[in-house]
Amino acid sequence: MQADGALMRAETESEARLVSVLDTAVDGILVIDERARILVYNSACERLFGWTAEETLGQNVQMIMPSAYARAHDRYLDNYMSTGERKIIGIGREVHARHKDGTEFPVELSVGEAGTPQGRQFIGIIRDLRSRREAEQRVRELQSDLVHMARVSAMDEMGAALAHELNQPLTAIMLYLQAGARTLQKGRDAKSDETLASVMNKAVHEAERAGAIISRMRQFVEKREPNRRRVDLNAVVEEAVELTLVGIRDKVNAVRGYAPNLPQAFIEPVQIQQVVVNLLRNAAEALRGRPNPTVTIETRMTGDMLAVEVCDNGPGIPAESVPDLFKAFATTKRTGMGLGLSISRTIAQSHGGDLSVHPGGNGRGACFTLTLQPATADDA
Ligand SMILES: Nc1ncnc2c1ncn2[C@@H]1O[C@H](COP(=O)(O)OP(=O)(O)OP(=O)(O)O)[C@@H](O)[C@H]1O
Ligand SMILES: [Mg+2]
């Protein structure tokens, strides 16, 4: 790279001064003529594109464009010169640039135009967007980590209930195996073989039940790249209901009302399950010690959106809590983090939907509605 940045052939003192000013700019600045030849190319451009000013001055600006743009550029410039139709001049937008080593990267390009005695010239100001893109990517990763952490923590809190639920099939398996062993001890005949087969089948069935509980849990806490798919919303919701009811089946009644023939949803199933799990756990916590504790889970279309509604017959939410309900760390629970609803709304909105509340109160329970867009034809 050249030390002086030699961005244009300075012939006068004022041009030399201009050169040194342009060289102090953080953004890439370049000027081209009507035939796309580079006339000015500052130091920032050298850093950005890897070419020296020496190598670029007088060359077609295509050399710093990805080949797809490069091919179109001359045509575009000709078109502009003859029709005045603007695609970028005076507008500015995000495009891709190409480094000397062939790598392509995002830049923000704004283009101005000047009339000079030598004809029209175009001034481009180029800002490197890589670090901004990296920061955005990092925020996305952190957000996804947080959402994942919340899932692990929810599962952690449900751990005792889950262990309890797992204990049931394990106990049953043990009893079936003991019965089998006793049958064998008595000596074998056609009848004992039949008993044995039946007992073994029952044990297998219980083992499958335990396996299903564990695999559902594992899927829920597993860390995966978020991957949206076309799915049947009812099936996704039912899995979440099953997962939450594990161990609290005897403490709340769950009433399901799933609309048949819903259009498919285009979602990350585990994240949507996370929302339903959060809503159900909140409902179950609000119902603790209440008479006839019941939560209803319904799916339906509202307008052109899919909706999942989770309502309970608990005390409802006091009016003064409603404004902060979806904010992080708003909790009335001794051990609550106050993250459930805030994360749930983030998930809903990142899916192009939303999460809203009818707070109830005065003898009516709370009702939460999650809306989601149905899958479109393009959602692969
Ligand atoms: N169904 C409900 N009935 C009554 N109050 C509710 C209901 N759902 C939520 N709330 C209130 O909203 C507050 C915030 O809920 P949120 O799920 O965000 O956090 P949390 O349940 O307190 O903690 P976390 O979910 O992080 O364990 C709760 O503390 C509770 O006061
Ligand atoms: Mg909660």
Give tens-digit pLDDT for 263-281.
Answer: 999 999 999 999 999 999 9
Q: How confident is the model at residue 7 (pLDDT cuts 50, 70, 90)?
A: low
CA of 149, nearest ligand number: 1
CA of 326, nearest ligand number: 1
pLDDT for position 136? 86
Tell me what the pLDDT averaged over the chain comes to. Answer: 90
**Centroid of ligand 2 to alpha carbon of 151 (angstroms):** 11
**C-beta 336 within 6 A of ligand 1:** yes
- Alpha carbon 65 to its chain centroid, in Å, reads 31
Q: How confident is the model at residue 1 (pLDDT cuts 50, 70, 90)?
A: very low
pLDDT for position 18? 82
Q: In terms of Cα–Cα distance, which of 299, 147, 286 is closest to 232?
A: 299
**Centroid of ligand 2 to alpha carbon of 258 (angstroms):** 23
Mean local confidence (pLDDT), 353-377? 95
Q: Per CATH, which fold does 132-225 belong to? A: Helix Hairpins (1.10.287)
Mean local confidence (pLDDT), 9-20? 77
Q: Which of 16-30, 118-132, 149-163 has the lowest mean pLDDT?
A: 149-163
pLDDT for position 6? 46
CATH number, domain 13-128: 3.30.450.20
> In which residue are the tokens 């049931």 written?
168
Looking only at the bridges linking them, the beta strands covering 367-372 and 354-358 are antiparallel
Is the pTM here over 0.75, yes or no?
A: no
Rounded Cα distance between 219 and 280, Å, is: 18
In the predicted structure, residue 92 carries a pLDDT above the cut 80 = no
**C-beta 344 within 6 A of ligand 1:** no
Q: How confident is the model at residue 46 (pLDDT cuts 50, 70, 90)?
A: very high
In the predicted structure, residue 190 carries a pLDDT above the cut 80 = yes
Rounded Cα distance between 159 and 79, Å, is: 67
Look up the CATH superfamily of 227-380. Histidine kinase-like ATPase, C-terminal domain (3.30.565.10)
User: What are the Cα distances from residue 291, in Å, to 4, 35, 314, 316, 332?
Assistant: 82, 82, 9, 14, 21
Report domain extents, the chain.
13-128, 132-225, 227-380
Give tens-digit pLDDT for 131-162.
Answer: 988 988 888 888 888 888 888 888 887 877 78
